[in-house]
Chain A
Amino acid sequence: DAGITQSPRHKVTETGTPVTLRCHQTENHRYMYWYRQDPGHGLRLIHYSYGVKDTDKGEVSDGYSVSRSKTEDFLLTLESATSSQTSVYFCAISSDRAPNYGYTFGSGTRLTVV
């Protein structure tokens, strides 16, 4: 999607290893979000950021950490990957929390933990 990219697009990793997913935006948006998508659960919020070095936990934050040292990058780290973290991860950005501002989503990262 224009203005927001996720890397890698696909990754296979072993249980117990750390993994970092990257979300990069060129829109200079203040807000960035990490969601995971699993069958039967829809999109669930992991962590979000409301500015550089300002982050907060979402609904399913256990086992994940995030960092935002620059406006354009929001990193999601799985500290010690488990099979339950096999999922598709979506990053989203938003310019403001005013009600008429929606999210723009990245293309997703498919992570498989074996």
Chain B
Amino acid sequence: ILNVEQSPQSLHVQEGDSTNFTCSFPSSNFYALHWYRWETAKSPEALFVMTLNGDEKKKGRISATLNTKEGYSYLYIKGSQPEDSATYLCACRSSGNTPLVFGKGTRLSVIA
């Protein structure tokens, strides 16, 4: 089973701070990586899908990078706002025939 690890497990930042967190995966067994945003009492919502080494994606104040050679992806949030408080999930698949395997998530709390 593909092992997807996320760090840190949780994070508390002040409003206006920028922050980032990491998703690690086996570099030898990579097909695609997805980032999801999961607010409490809601369903996970897709943020980015990344497939190529060096990919960079951006959506408003949130961006992500991908390094498939070393097996990691970073998610960045610039100028965190209280509405950014959520759990951020990373998920990977090792081929087109396998379902996504999720990490345990990073829980972000932004304090006003």
Residues of A within 8 A of B (CB): 1, 31, 33, 35, 40-45, 48, 58-59, 90, 97-108
Most buried by A among B42, B99, B103: B99
Interface residue SS majority, chain B: loop
Contact check, A103 vs B46: say whether CB atoms are below 8 A apart: yes
Q: Which B residues contact A (CB, under 8 angstroms)?
A: 1, 31-32, 34, 36, 42-46, 49, 51, 89, 91, 93, 96-97, 99-105
Say whether A33 contacts B99, CB under 8 Å. yes
Partner of B43, one of A41, A45, A90, A100: A90
Closest 6 CB pairs of A and B: A99-B32, A42-B104, A105-B43, A102-B46, A43-B102, A99-B51
Question: B94: shortest Cβ distance to chain A, in Å?
Answer: 11
CB pairs A–B below 8 angstroms (21 shown): A31-B99, A40-B104, A41-B104, A42-B103, A42-B104, A45-B100, A45-B101, A48-B99, A58-B99, A97-B96, A97-B97, A99-B31, A99-B32, A99-B49, A99-B96, A101-B49, A103-B34, A103-B44, A103-B46, A106-B43, A108-B43
Q: Which residues of B contact A48 (CB under 8 A)?
A: 99
Q: Is the interface of A mostly helix, strand, loop or mixed?
A: loop
- The interface residues of chain B lying within 8 Å CB-to-CB of A97 are 93, 96-97
A-B Cβ contacts below 8 A, count: 56
For A43, the closest partner residue in chain B by CB is B102
Contact present for A45 and B99 (CB under 8 Å): yes
